[in-house]
C-alpha cells in the first residue's frame, strides 16, 4: 500500500505537524519524522526510510509518542481515526471528496497542508516566463489544481507602469481582524456585526521579478505550505476564482436591471437557465456585488456621464436633439428626442399629453414625457425631459427646447390643472389650445359634493353630471343651460368648486372644443398615465440618471417594436366583413386594423339605421337630410359612476336617437360636411356621410377624407428598428455580438444529442479562446473600467483623470415627491385606508374598533 502512486487528478495534500518550543518560534523538525502513513488518496508526513519494514508485525505500528503529544490513527474500515488524549475527531476519506476538513491543532504545534500536483504545474524557483501575464496564469492554474485562491500582493512598478516585482499570495494571507468595534464608525461606539474570520496569516506565495532590460519574469521565491484546509474538488465552484463573474454575466445582470429586476431575482433566473446554481460560478452575493460595483463606478459622476453620453450621441447620430441646463455647476434640466421621435411627432403630433411623473431617479428629478397617439391608437412618445423644479421657469425652458427640436407649433395640449404648466404653454405656444384632463377633474367630484348627503340623490347627481360633461353633441349654449338646470335641481348653486369648474368650462368641456381638429382624439391623460406606468414598472427605485436613461431607451425600443408588430399584423391578416358595401374592402386596404374596425362600425350603422330623408339644392350646395332611426341601446353602467381609468370616455352620445343630421355637399370642390362633426373630431367619416356616398354612387372613400395619421405604414420600419447607440460602429458591434451568441446557441442545440461532437466543438471553442483571450498580452486585456463603460455606453477618459464639471443634482423637493419611495397621500385616502382595515376588540374599551389598548382614547382618561 505504501508503494501506491498518488492520484494527482484530485486535490491531494500532505499534512505535517510542526512542533514549537514557544508561541513564537518553530523548530526545524517534522512530526512524525520516521514513519509514513498511506491511505488510498492521502499521504501524511514524509518517509525518511524507503526500506520500511511491514508495519503490521508490530503491536504499536500506528502509535507515535513525543513527550506531551500522543496521536493514534486507527484504520477502521479504511478510514483513519485520530485521537489526542480526551479529544477525538474523524478525518473522513470519502470517495469523490479528496480533501479533508481538519481543525486539529496539536499542543505546541501547527498542522499544515502541502498540495500534491503534477511537477509541470508546480512553480519552480528560477523558472522564466516571457511575460507577466504568462507567469500569473501559470500560478493561478496551479492554485486551481491545488484548491486555493490567489490574491495580488505587493507590487513594484517602473514609471512607465511596467511591473518589476510582484507577489502572488494565498487569499488567506494576512492577520484576521479580531476587533470588536466597527472601524468605520468615527466615534467607535458601534459594535461590529458578527462575521466569520477568513484570513489565517497563510505564508504561501510566489515572487516574480523582471530580468533587467527584458520583459521576461523569473520566479525568485516560492512557498507552498498552507496553514489551513484547501478546497475539495467538489467545492471548487465556491472558490473566489470560480465565483468570479465574467462579462456576459454582468451584461445579464445589467439587462435585467433595466426591467426592474434586482440581483437576487437575476441570480435565480440565471441559475434556472444554467440548470442549477452549481453549474456556473456566481452566488447571490456576487450578483449583488456586481450591481454595487457598477453603482460605485457611477457615483458622483452620474450627471457628467449622462451629459457626455448624450453629447456624444448628438455628435455622431443624425437628427438627435439633446439640450441640458446647469445651475451652480449642478445639472438642472434635460430634454432629448431622436430622429424616430421627431418622425412620430410630424405624423401624430396634432394632440399631445403632458403628465409629470415622480420618483423615477434617486435625485427626485421630475420626469416629463410628451405622449401622443399613433395610427394604431397606441401611445407614442415624442420626447422627454427631466426637471429639478416643477415651476414655470423650468417648464418654459422645457417647452422651448421642444419647439427648437420639432420646429412646429403645438395645436392641442392636454395636461392636469398645474398653473405653472399652463402659464408656460401660453407663453411658448400662444396659438395652442390648452385642455385640462377631464379624468383629473371628475376624480375630485366625490370630495366636492359632500353637501348632497343622501346616497341615492348623490348617485343620481353623479350620473347626471357625467352625462352632461362627456356629451360632445351638445353645443356651448346647450351645455350652459343643462348645467344651470342641474345645479338648481340638486340645490348646489352655491357650491364653490362647481362654480370654479364652470368658470373653466372652456378649458375642459368638449362642447367648447368642437372647432378644433382632432379634439375628440384625447380628452383625458389616461393613455399618458398608462405610458408613464410602463416607465415606473421598469425603473428600479433610486436609479442613477445614466441607468434611468438606459431604462427609458429599453421602454422606447419595446414601444417601437409594438409599432412594427401592429404594422405587420395589419399587413398580413384580413378582417371579416359584416356588410356588402364596397366601402369595407377599400377601408381595410388603406387603414390600420384598429381604425378599420371603427370605420366598419360606422358603415354598419349606416346600413342598419340611416336613410336619406330629403335633398335641398341651392347655390351649388346640396343639403341632404339624413335621419338616424331610434334604436334601443342599453348604456353601459358600473356600480361606481366615476370615469374608468381604462376608458377614454363614457359613450353618452348614444343617448340621442331619432335625430336628423344635415350633410352639405359642395358641387364645386366636392366636399362633404356633417353637422355631427365626427370627422373633424376623430378624423374618421361618420355613418351619415356614408349614407350620402351611397346616394351619389361613390363606392370608395375619397382620398381627401383618409387622413395620413390613420394610414398604414406611416413610419418606415427601418426607422423604428434603429437602436439607441452612439454611433454606427456601436450598432454594428452589438449586432455582431448578438449573432455570435445566436450561432453558439444553434450549434450547441444541434450537437446536444451527440456527446462526442459536442466535445469536439468545445475543444474548438477553447482553441479560439486561447488564441484571442489567453494568449492576449496583459496590457491589451480590457480593465474593469472598460467593462463598466461598455455596459453604460459611457465615453471619455478614465474616472481618475476626468474633470467633473457637472455635479449631480441635490436638495430637490417637488410636490408629490414625498419621502424616499413613498407618495404623499390625501386625508381622504388615509381615512379610507384606515376604514378598510378589519376591526378588532380593544381590551380597554371592549369595543370592535380600529385601535388597541396601546392607543385607545380611554387610556389617558382612566389614568
Q: What is the pLDDT of residue 98?
A: 40
Q: What is the pLDDT of residue 387?
A: 93
Confidence band for 26, pLDDT divided at 50, 70 and 90: very low
Q: What is the pLDDT of residue 796?
A: 57
Residue 300 pLDDT exceeds 60: yes
Distance (Å, whole) CA 722 – CA 728: 10
Query: In 10 A of CB 77, how many CB atoms?
Result: 5
Question: Which is it for strands 610-618 and 433-436: parallel, antiparallel or unpaired?
Answer: unpaired
Closest CA to 365 of 557, 548, 553: 548
pLDDT per residue as tens digits for the range 104-128: 344 456 788 888 888 888 999 999 9
Question: Which is it for strands 12-19 and 43-44: parallel, antiparallel or unpaired?
Answer: parallel
Q: What is the pLDDT of residue 857?
A: 82
- Asked if 524 and 439 count as a contact pair (C-beta separation under 8 A), the reply is yes
The CA dihedral of 581, 582, 588, 593, to the nearest 10 degrees, is -20
Q: Which three cell numbers stand for residue 54?
A: 511491514
Q: What is the pLDDT of residue 428?
A: 93
Peptide bond into 32 cis (omega under 30): yes
In this prediction, residues 191-219 reach a mean pLDDT of 87
Confidence band for 240, pLDDT divided at 50, 70 and 90: confident
Distance (Å, whole) CA 433 – CA 426: 9
Query: Locate cell 348646489: which residue?
Result: 492
- pTM for the model stands at 0.75
In this prediction, residues 397-407 reach a mean pLDDT of 94
In this prediction, residues 491-498 reach a mean pLDDT of 88
Q: Which three cell numbers stand for residue 81?
A: 481515526
Confidence band for 828, pLDDT divided at 50, 70 and 90: low
Confidence band for 729, pLDDT divided at 50, 70 and 90: low
Confidence band for 730, pLDDT divided at 50, 70 and 90: low
Question: Which is it for strands 12-19 and 30-31: parallel, antiparallel or unpaired?
Answer: antiparallel
More confident residue, 556 or 769: 556
Q: What is the pLDDT of residue 23?
A: 39
Confidence band for 424, pLDDT divided at 50, 70 and 90: very high
Distance (Å, whole) CA 30 – CA 45: 8
DSSP state for residue 771 in the 8-state scheme: I
Query: Locate cell 453549474: which residue?
Result: 279
CA angle at residue 777 from 771 to 783, to 5 degrees? 105
Q: What is the pLDDT of residue 841?
A: 87
Q: What is the pLDDT of residue 46?
A: 36
Closest CA to 290 of 269, 271, 268, 264: 264
Distance (Å, whole) CA 38 – CA 55: 12
More confident residue, 631 or 485: 485
Of the listed ranges 81-95, 565-579, 819-833, the one predicted with least confidence: 81-95
Residue 401 pLDDT exceeds 70: yes
Please return the burial class of 738, using the count of CB atoms within 10 Å of its CB with bins 0-12, 13-18 and 19+. Answer: exposed
pLDDT per residue as tens digits for the range 254-292: 889 888 898 999 999 988 888 777 767 788 999 999 999
Closest CA to 406 of 299, 305, 319, 465: 319
DSSP state for residue 779 in the 8-state scheme: G
In this prediction, residues 231-249 reach a mean pLDDT of 84
Q: What is the pLDDT of residue 524?
A: 74
In this prediction, residues 801-806 reach a mean pLDDT of 70
Closest CA to 521 of 626, 333, 375, 396: 375
Distance (Å, whole) CA 379 – CA 390: 24
pLDDT per residue as tens digits for the range 38-74: 333 333 333 333 333 343 333 333 333 333 333 333 4
Mean pLDDT of the chain: 78
Rg (CA), the chain: 39
In this prediction, residues 666-673 reach a mean pLDDT of 86
Distance (Å, whole) CA 563 – CA 559: 7
Distance (Å, whole) CA 621 – CA 609: 25
Amino acid at each position: 500500500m505504501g508503494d501506491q502512486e498518488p492520484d494527482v487528478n484530485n486535490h491531494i495534500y500532505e499534512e505535517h505537524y510542526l512542533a514549537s518550543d514557544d508561541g513564537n518560534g518553530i523548530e526545524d523538525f517534522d512530526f512524525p519524522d520516521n514513519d509514513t502513513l498511506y491511505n488510498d488518496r492521502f499521504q501524511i508526513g514524509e518517509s525518511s526510510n524507503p526500506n520500511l519494514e511491514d508495519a503490521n508485525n508490530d503491536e504499536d505500528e500506528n502509535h507515535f509518542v513525543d513527550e506531551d503529544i500522543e496521536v493514534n490513527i486507527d484504520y477502521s474500515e479504511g478510514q483513519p481515526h485520530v485521537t489526542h488524549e480526551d479529544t477525538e475527531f474523524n478525518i473522513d476519506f470519502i470517495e469523490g471528496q479528496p480533501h479533508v476538513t481538519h481543525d486539529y491543532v496539536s499542543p505546541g504545534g501547527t498542522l499544515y497542508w502541502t498540495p500534491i500536483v503534477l511537477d509541470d504545474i508546480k512553480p519552480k524557483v528560477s523558472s522564466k516566463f516571457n511575460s507577466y501575464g504568462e507567469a500569473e496564469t501559470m500560478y493561478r492554474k496551479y492554485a486551481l489544481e491545488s484548491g486555493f485562491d490567489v490574491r495580488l500582493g505587493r507590487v513594484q512598478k517602473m514609471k512607465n507602469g511596467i511591473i518589476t516585482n510582484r507577489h502572488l499570495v494565498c487569499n488567506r494571507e494576512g492577520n484576521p481582524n479580531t476587533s470588536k468595534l466597527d472601524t468605520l464608525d468615527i466615534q467607535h461606539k458601534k459594535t461590529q456585526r458578527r462575521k466569520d474570520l477568513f484570513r489565517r496569516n497563510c505564508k504561501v506565495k510566489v515572487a516574480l521579478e523582471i530580468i533587467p532590460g527584458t520583459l521576461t519574469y523569473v520566479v525568485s521565491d516560492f512557498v507552498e505550505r498552507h496553514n489551513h484546509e484547501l478546497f475539495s474538488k467538489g467545492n471548487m465552484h465556491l472558490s473566489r476564482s470560480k465565483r468570479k463573474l465574467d462579462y456576459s454575466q454582468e451584461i445579464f445582470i445589467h439587462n435585467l436591471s433595466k426591467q426592474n429586476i434586482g440581483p437576487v431575482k437575476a441570480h435565480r433566473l440565471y441559475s434556472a437557465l444554467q440548470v442549477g446554481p452549481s453549474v456556473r460560478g456566481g452566488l447571490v452575493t456576487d450578483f449583488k456585488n456586481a450591481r454595487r460595483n457598477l453603482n460605485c463606478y457611477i457615483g458622483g459622476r452620474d450627471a457628467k456621464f449622462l451629459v457626455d453620453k448624450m453629447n456624444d450621441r448628438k455628435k455622431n447620430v443624425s437628427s438627435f436633439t439633446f439640450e441640458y441646463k446647469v445651475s451652480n455647476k449642478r445639472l438642472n434640466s434635460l430634454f432629448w428626442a431622436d430622429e424616430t421621435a421627431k418622425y412620430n411627432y410630424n405624423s401624430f403630433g396634432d394632440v399631445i399629453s403632458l403628465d409629470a411623473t415622480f420618483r423615477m431617479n434617486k435625485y427626485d428629478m421630475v420626469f416629463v414625457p410628451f405622449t401622443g397617439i399613433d395610427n394604431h391608437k397606441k401611445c407614442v412618445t415624442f420626447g422627454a425631459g427631466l426637471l429639478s423644479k416643477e415651476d414655470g421657469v423650468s417648464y418654459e425652458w422645457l417647452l422651448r427646447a421642444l419647439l427648437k427640436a420639432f420646429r412646429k407649433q403645438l395645436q392641442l395640449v392636454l395636461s392636469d390643472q398645474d398653473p405653472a404648466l399652463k402659464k408656460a404653454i401660453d407663453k411658448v405656444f400662444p396659438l395652442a389650445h390648452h385642455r385640462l384632463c377631464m379624468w383629473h377633474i371628475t376624480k375630485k367630484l366625490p370630495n366636492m359634493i359632500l353637501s348632497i348627503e343622501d346616497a341615492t340623490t348623490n348617485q343620481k347627481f353623479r350620473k347626471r353630471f357625467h352625462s352632461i360633461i362627456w356629451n360632445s353633441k351638445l353645443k356651448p349654449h346647450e351645455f350652459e343651460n343643462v348645467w344651470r338646470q342641474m345645479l338648481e335641481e340638486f340645490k348646489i348653486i352655491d357650491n364653490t368648486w362647481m362654480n370654479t369648474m364652470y368658470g373653466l368650462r372652456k378649458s375642459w368641456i368638449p362642447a367648447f372644443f368642437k372647432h378644433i381638429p382632432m379634439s375628440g382624439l384625447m380628452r383625458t391623460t389616461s393613455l399618458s398615465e398608462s405610458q408613464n406606468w410602463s416607465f415606473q414598472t421598469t425603473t428600479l427605485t433610486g436609479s442613477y440618471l445614466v441607468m434611468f436613461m438606459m431604462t427609458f431607451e429599453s421602454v422606447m425600443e419595446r414601444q417601437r417594436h409594438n409599432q412594427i408588430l401592429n404594422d405587420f399584423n395589419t399587413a398580413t391578416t384580413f378582417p371579416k366583413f359584416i356588410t356588402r358595401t364596397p366601402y369595407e374592402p377599400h377601408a381595410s386596404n388603406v387603414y390600420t386594423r384598429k381604425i378599420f374596425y371603427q370605420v366598419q362600425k360606422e358603415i354598419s350603422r349606416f346600413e342598419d339605421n340611416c336613410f336619406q330623408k330629403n335633398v335641398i339644392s341651392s347655390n351649388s350646395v346640396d343639403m341632404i337630410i339624413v335621419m338616424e332611426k331610434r334604436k334601443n341601446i342599453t348604456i353601459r353602467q358600473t356600480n361606481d359612476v366615476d370615469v374608468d381609468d381604462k376608458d377614454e370616455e363614457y359613450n353618452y352620445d348614444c343617448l340621442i336617437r331619432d335625430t336628423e343630421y344635415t350633410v352639405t355637399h359642395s358641387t364645386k370642390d366636392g366636399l362633404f360636411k356633417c353637422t355631427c362633426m365626427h370627422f373633424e373630431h376623430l378624423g374618421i367619416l361618420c355613418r351619415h356621410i356614408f349614407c350620402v356616398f351611397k346616394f351619389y354612387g361613390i363606392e370608395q372613400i375619397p382620398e381627401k377624407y383618409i387622413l395620413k395619421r390613420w394610414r398604414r405604414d406611416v413610419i418606415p420600419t427601418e426607422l423604428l428598428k434603429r437602436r439607441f447607440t452612439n454611433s454606427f460602429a456601436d450598432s454594428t458591434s452589438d449586432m455582431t455580438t448578438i449573432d455570435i451568441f445566436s450561432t453558439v446557441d444553434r450549434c450547441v442545440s444541434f450537437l446536444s444529442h451527440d456527446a462526442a461532437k459536442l466535445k469536439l466543438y468545445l475543444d474548438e471553442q477553447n482553441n479560439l479562446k486561447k488564441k484571442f483571450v489567453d494568449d492576449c498580452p496583459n496590457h491589451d486585456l480590457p480593465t474593469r473600467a472598460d467593462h463598466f463603460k461598455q455596459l453604460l455606453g459611457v465615453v471619455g477618459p478614465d474616472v481618475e483623470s476626468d474633470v467633473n464639471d457637472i455635479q449631480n443634482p441635490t436638495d430637490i423637493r417637488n410636490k408629490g415627491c414625498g419621502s424616499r419611495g413613498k407618495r404623499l397621500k390625501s386625508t381622504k385616502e388615509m381615512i379610507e385606508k384606515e376604514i378598510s382595515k378589519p376591526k378588532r376588540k380593544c381590551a380597554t374599551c371592549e369595543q370592535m374598533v380600529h385601535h388597541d389598548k396601546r392607543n385607545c382614547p380611554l387610556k389617558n382618561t382612566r389614568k
